[in-house]
Amino acid sequence: MTHKATASFPAANFSEDAVAAVIEGRIKNGVYAPGSRMPTERALSEEFGVSRRFARMAYVKLIDQGLLEKSHYRRPFVAFSDKQPVGVHSQEAPPRKTTQAVQTIASVLPSNPTFPGGLSIVSGIHKVLADTESAHRLTFLDTFHKDRPEVLRRETQAINSALDSGAVGLIWWYYSREDTVQEIMRRNPDLPIVFIDRHPEGLHCDFVGIDDVETSQTAVDYLLDLGHTRIAHLMDPGDYSTILGRAQGYRAAHLARGLPVSEERIVHLNWNANRMEMACDYLFSLPDPPTALFTSNDFIAHEFIKVAEANGIRVPRDLSVIGHGNIDRYAPQGFLTSVEQPFEMMGRAAARLMLKRLAAGPGAPQSYQQVILPAPIVLRTSCQPFVPSAHLPVVAPEPQRP
């Protein structure tokens, strides 16, 4: 979320130091919250009556001080201040270090070898523990496997291992059923758990992630702005909050434009090996096949594109595709337009929230927190404006829903 400035300034002789000082004051007063994106350089220059160069230099100064952090694709965001800003020194003598018993925080999440998002989360957690000189150590329990039954087995094993070893907190990106997650929470009421990416529906809990509804609505809005109205939605298997939220965003984008939601263009995948062939055959045998596709994650987007192109459907000429997760950031040549997920930032936010819970202790009044991080769209070449002549009717058999 980007916060608007609380004051405007007439044209004045502001230096970059003066602009930086005003922004620093706003950050410290909570006008710009940790993780929020800063105003554009243009907005800043108009507010203070300075050139965009001065606005950029002010941001650079604050980045050097540690108050802001760079973003790969967009304007900087407010840092999660694990350290004091550069140049700020306490007037008190540093406390004498005492030996503390090392306690373990367990992170249970998948680390796909072709997609370092999980490792980015772990890196963010490590960064906070190191920067705060925490007495806690991190144990990373990897649950990734290509077969779902094995993922669930590994996750059960990881949770049991964390609990048996006396872990004092759990940072968890889960794949288990909702009732399994709720049972673990019920059996361990004093165990702090911070959920990553998804959270159990209907339960109060600590959570770090993005707004799946809003980001998905923005993604579908982008396709609508390109002139596409026959937009399909491919949903990953499962009923996790992420999948349901992204489907809700897909529907919300249509309803906000006064467009009907075509349920026949929404495909909820299963775990079958030939699921993409079935989905592709079904969607392109509809009387009005889609000209664009929004998927609930990038993995199924790439999987569908491979099958579609094997069947002569060209992306983006015949079908524009937008995904969710931005896994192409790790590819030498990115292709897929996608919603960014700030994994390293998620890890840092989760670690800070966990340390806050541990510092409060088990008897403290429980007030759960949900940290929602910015997730912009990263534009690449998998989408193009709708061209009627390029989307000819497809003659196909009667559609069979997968």
Tens-digit pLDDT profile for residues 217-231: 999 999 999 999 999
pTM exceeds 0.95 for this model: no
Instruction: Cite the residue boundaries of each domain of the chain with CATH code 1.10.10.10.
Output: 16-78
**Burial of 84 (C-beta count, 10 Å sphere; 0-12/13-18/19+):** exposed
Which residue pairs, CB below 8 angstroms and at least 24 apart, start in 22-29?
Answer: 22/48, 23/58, 23/62, 23/67, 24/62, 24/65, 24/67, 27/62, 27/67, 27/78
The rounded percent of the chain whose pLDDT value lies above 70 is 87
16-78, CATH topology level: Arc Repressor Mutant, subunit A (1.10.10)
* 2 bridge partner residues: 37
Instruction: Cite the residue boundaries of each domain of the chain with CATH code 3.40.50.2300.
Output: 103-209+343-360+367-375, 212-340+379-390
For the structural domain made of 103-209+343-360+367-375, what CATH number should be given? 3.40.50.2300
All residues at 6 or more sequence positions from 252 whose CB lies less than 8 Å from its CB, including other chains: 213, 217
**CATH superfamily name and code, 212-340+379-390:** Response regulator (3.40.50.2300)
- pLDDT of the residue at 209: 96
> Residues 312, 313, 314, 317: what is their CA dihedral angle, to the nearest 10 degrees?
130
Most confidently modeled of 94-103, 228-237, 325-334? 228-237
> Residues 89, 92, 94, 98: what is their CA dihedral angle, to the nearest 10 degrees?
-150
d(CA 54, CA 56): 5
Average pLDDT over residues 202-226: 96
d(CA 340, CA 324): 7
d(CA 170, CA 238): 23
309-356 pLDDT per residue, tens: 999 999 999 999 999 999 998 887 889 999 999 999 999 999 999 999
- pLDDT of the residue at 370: 93
53-74 pLDDT per residue, tens: 888 888 888 888 888 887 654 5
Pair 175, 141: CB distance under 8 Å: no
Which residue pairs, CB below 8 angstroms and at least 24 apart, start in 182-187?
Answer: 184/159
